[in-house]
Structure 1
Amino acid sequence: MESKKQSIGHQFAHFVALNILSMVGVSCYILVDTFFIGNGVGADGLTALNLALPLFSVQQAFGFLFSVGCGTKYAILKARKEDEAADELVCSTVVWAGLFGTALAILIFVFARPLMILMGAKGAMIGLSAGYMRTVLSFTPFFLLNSTCNLLVKNDYNPKLAMLGTLSGSLFNIIFDYIFIYPMHMGMFGAALATGFSPWVNLMVLSFHVIRKKNQFHLHKPTFRLGLLSEVAKLGLTSAITELAAGVVVLVFNWAILSQAGNIGVAAYGVVANIAIVVMAIYNGIAQGMQPLVSTNYGLGKEENMHRLLRYAVGTTLLVSAGMYLVLAMFAVPIAELFNGEHLASLRAIASEGVRIYFTGIFFAGMSVVFGVYCNSREQVKKAFAIAVLRGGSVMVPVLLILLFVARAGMVGVWLSFPVSEAIIFMIALVLVRKKNENVKDF
């Protein structure tokens, strides 16, 4: 509540800093697995992990569907003093997240092998990737509950606790990845187990929000009104599609790279893809840090504050993008080598080239993420949905196919498809937002 008395600039800086740490913590679940698997299992482990990555995006997409939808609606309802509706929203969404998570876990566990074949796995890779995926995604109910509760706590003006919860889960993952892979020699199963238990740790930390009576909502028997579920899904759909799109892109890239460079190419892309997850987490941290403030000011009808928050987010995104690309371009080879436990020259060469080319697109990608979340935060769902669809592979896949099969650019074409498509998406998104909201040109 204290943060509400601060200036809008201080609130933005506070929320964004904590949200970036929190989102990076979530992204590190898989990044840490990549590091330990790359060094403790080798190139085959990296390949298997990257083949399983699109299904992790499906899990994350459902997490965003409930968490962003619930968090956004909660902030708006609280700003309008509709406390009873906010209480109903919280209790119902938490139950729905748990139920959907359980159903998804069962489906993926049963169909793991055919799903991995669809992902492009062959031979020994089928069993290796299916085993990892089955283990991690058995914990899907807890991942969805963790995502929902984390964003709810942020929107309940306790971003510090949300950050501490996420970092605690990530620290647990790092420690037990090491223990399970090295001293206990459990390989990919150990890495998956450490990742699966991490959201439990996060949830235990988040529970102190209620235990210490910091919550502004009240727990009661949930309702199962489909209208309420529809409202949550509508507001969370943009973020869900964006996350799902990331999985689709990884899947298409895997197929393309298998045809160009085989398993070593997929292992190299695994390095790039996992760094990309962290980079996008930083952009999501900026955007989701802005979200509670935009939603609250939208509920209060404070238009100028919303425009100011957008300008802050755009400026922060551009500054962060410049810093990140400078680091990635300068240290591309040592970054690739971090995940190259077998010191394969081919993996190092492909991955370092990929880092330098692929990440030129982050300037455009970050802006598109901010625009999408800004629109969604003020219930401009059609605009947000349009941006999400653009980022959902509808631009990138055709660009990739043109570069591969028309321009015949090989692996360079694979890496270039990201910056080219993100530049196109950004220009279209900017036109859409400027056309429908004249104030956006003020940023």
Structure 2
Amino acid sequence: MASVTGDFSKGKVSMVILKLGLPMMLAELVHVLYNIVDRMYIGHMPEGGTLALTGLGICFPLITLIGAFANLFSTGGATLATIARGAKEDRKAERIMGTSFTMLLLIGLLLTGLLYLTAPVTLRWLGGDDETIPTAMGYFRIYVLGTVSVLISLGMNPFISAQGFPKIGMGTILIGAILNIALDPLMIYTMNMGIRGAALATVVSQTASAIWVLGFLRSRRAVLRLTGLHLDWNELKRIVSLGVTGFTFRVTNSITQAIVNIMLKTWGGPLSTIYVGAMSLINSLREIMSLPNSGIVMGGQSVMSYNYGAKLYPRVSKSIRFIFLSGLFVNIVMWLLVMIVPEPLIRIFTSDEQLIRTAVVCARIYFGAFPFMAMQQAGQSTFVSLNYPRYALFFSLLRKIVLVAPLTLLLPNIGLGVHGVFWAEFASQVIGATACFTTMYRVIWRHLRKETNQLIR
């Protein structure tokens, strides 16, 4: 079976993607759950729950930035390693994996020191004030101590799934999630640590996940084995060239989150803390809504990369079609839920009635064009999987830097007020996703058809 042997050239394409993607989706579900459980416990704290959620929202840009570095080396490294495996070059694939691991370790150590020391100033730049800085600092300075573990668990886990061991990859997330869910109430309530307890629970959980990842990749079960620190400069250039797309997407997302927080503080008036808290809840909802497609996209990327390396172009085309159609169906279902019954979803995170009323209105605007994101996901994942880094980078920049950031600054000033911040996301989804998918169709889909016809001849 493809999911066991790592040979993605056999079997019905949709079934191979599902066999690979469903365990990844379950792993992502558990990962999202322990992020969500964090926010549920924080939001329902007897004293200061809304303020704590807002403080956590101030930290989001920096947490996203840390994840961006994991994405830089995991996306490029895992994709190139999978292409090498498809071409039967396992030794080369191991060099790629070793180089990615070494860079994750070095970057993790550097970020730990830098972010810990600069946290007070940085959090204030990101929209923190005298009311929210203490809670934001309480969370972030503990969270940042687990940076190396976060980078290893997030950055190396794709190499496990790319080898055809999605259940082992799911185990990475399960271990961390179960620990986090168990430790959260203990540390937040029983030990009376509040938001600092949530951060400590996350650090312990991510460390356990990192140990699991390294244990498997160094074992004899792994197809590609991690034998130690290794740095191949030629491979590093290729990894960064391809991974810079996902990295840029997350960095620009971090920048956008910072701009959003600042604009909400500026235009929210006396309710600015409520609006930042509402955006924090919306980010949590987005994680839940994006979840079903995440596993399919990750599974589809591995299948596309492998078959592209093996020159099995019809299977690549079928993968793209399946990712798009399944993603569109899921996104429409999620969109209907938020449009029709947003309040029960928001009550998961808070019992503050004012925050709930505000978040309901803002969520309906923010997610108004969510079905379009199926086009963005299909286009972006195809560019990355088939080694088209320039296109992938361009469309990452287009949506976040060219569209979201300027619109976030502009729309509140032309009569939309604080709600203009949420309309910016709506507009960017429509424009950016349509442009990305159309370009993918014209550039890659037609190329695959041409290559297929040449092989038939």
Q: Shorter-chain TM-score: which interval?
A: over 0.9
Cα distance in 2 for partners of 1:202, 1:216 equals 20
TM-score (norm 2): 0.91
- Give the secondary structure class of the aligned counterpart of 2:190: coil
Q: 1:2: how far off?
A: 4.0
The two structures, once aligned, show a CA RMSD in angstroms of 2.0
- Give the secondary structure class of the aligned counterpart of 2:368: helix
- Give the secondary structure class of the aligned counterpart of 1:304: helix
Partner of 1:330: 340
Cα distance per residue 1:364-406 (max 9 Å; x no partner): 2232122112111111111111111113332112222332112
Q: 1:438: how far off?
A: 4.3
User: Contact conserved, 1:287 with 1:374, CA < 8 A, in 2?
Assistant: no
Q: Residue type matched to 2:102 in 1?
A: V
User: Contact conserved, 2:101 with 2:152, CA < 8 A, in 1?
Assistant: yes
Is the counterpart of residue 306 in structure 1 residue 316 in structure 2? Answer: yes
Partner of 1:371: 379
Q: Residue type matched to 1:300 in 2?
A: A
- Give the secondary structure class of the aligned counterpart of 1:111: helix
Cα distance in 2 for partners of 1:218, 1:163 equals 18
User: Contact conserved, 1:314 with 1:370, CA < 8 A, in 2?
Assistant: yes
Q: 1:257: how far off?
A: 1.3
Q: 1:414 to 1:124 in 2, by over 3 A?
A: closer
Deviates more, 1:325-334 or 1:128-137: 325-334
- Give the secondary structure class of the aligned counterpart of 2:379: helix
Cα distance per residue 1:47-99 (max 9 Å; x no partner): 10000100000011001111111110110111111122112222222122111
Partner of 1:274: 284
Cα distance in 2 for partners of 1:171, 1:221 equals 29
Deviates more, 1:149-158 or 1:216-225: 216-225
Cα distance in 1 for partners of 2:225, 2:218 equals 12
- Give the secondary structure class of the aligned counterpart of 1:318: helix
Cα distance in 1 for partners of 2:447, 2:30 equals 31
Q: Matches of residues 62-211 of structure 1 in structure 2 within 5 Å?
A: 62-207=69-214, 209-210=216-217
Is the counterpart of residue 391 in structure 1 residue 399 in structure 2? Answer: yes
User: Contact conserved, 2:17 with 2:296, CA < 8 A, in 1?
Assistant: no
Q: Residue type matched to 1:279 in 2?
A: M
Q: 1:180: how far off?
A: 0.8
Q: 1:279: how far off?
A: 2.9
Q: Residue type matched to 1:390 in 2?
A: L
Is the counterpart of residue 284 in structure 1 residue 316 in structure 2? Answer: no
Q: 1:254: how far off?
A: 1.1
- Give the secondary structure class of the aligned counterpart of 1:144: helix
- Structure 1 unaligned spans of 5+: none
- Equivalent position to 1:13, from 18, 21, 25: 18
User: Contact conserved, 1:70 with 1:148, CA < 8 A, in 2?
Assistant: no
Partner of 1:226: 233
- Give the secondary structure class of the aligned counterpart of 1:124: coil
Partner of 1:316: 326
Is the counterpart of residue 348 in structure 1 residue 356 in structure 2? Answer: yes
Cα distance per residue 1:247-295 (max 9 Å; x no partner): 2222121112112321111111111122223334444333212111111
User: Contact conserved, 2:76 with 2:239, CA < 8 A, in 1?
Assistant: yes
Cα distance per residue 1:18-45 (max 9 Å; x no partner): 2222233333443222111111141110
Cα distance in 2 for partners of 1:43, 1:386 equals 37
Cα distance in 2 for partners of 1:241, 1:29 equals 25
Cα distance in 2 for partners of 1:234, 1:24 equals 29
Partner of 1:24: 29
Q: 1:233 to 1:27 in 2, by over 3 A?
A: farther
Aligned-pair identity in percent equals 24
Cα distance in 1 for partners of 2:233, 2:119 equals 30
User: Contact conserved, 2:76 with 2:242, CA < 8 A, in 1?
Assistant: yes
Partner of 2:417: 410
Q: 1:80 to 1:61 in 2, by over 3 A?
A: same
Q: 1:94 to 1:82 in 2, by over 3 A?
A: same
Partner of 2:256: 249
- Give the secondary structure class of the aligned counterpart of 2:223: coil
TM-score (norm 1): 0.94
Deviates more, 1:207-216 or 1:169-178: 207-216
Q: Number of paired residues? A: 439
Q: 1:207: how far off?
A: 4.7
Q: 1:211 to 1:116 in 2, by over 3 A?
A: closer
User: Contact conserved, 1:39 with 1:339, CA < 8 A, in 2?
Assistant: yes
Q: 1:429: how far off?
A: 1.3
Cα distance in 1 for partners of 2:95, 2:434 equals 40
Cα distance in 1 for partners of 2:368, 2:442 equals 27
Structure 1 runs of 4+ aligned residues shifted over 4 Å read: none
User: Contact conserved, 2:331 with 2:373, CA < 8 A, in 1?
Assistant: no
User: Contact conserved, 1:15 with 1:159, CA < 8 A, in 2?
Assistant: yes
Cα distance in 1 for partners of 2:230, 2:139 equals 36
Q: 1:426: how far off?
A: 1.4
- Equivalent position to 2:306, from 296, 307, 313: 296
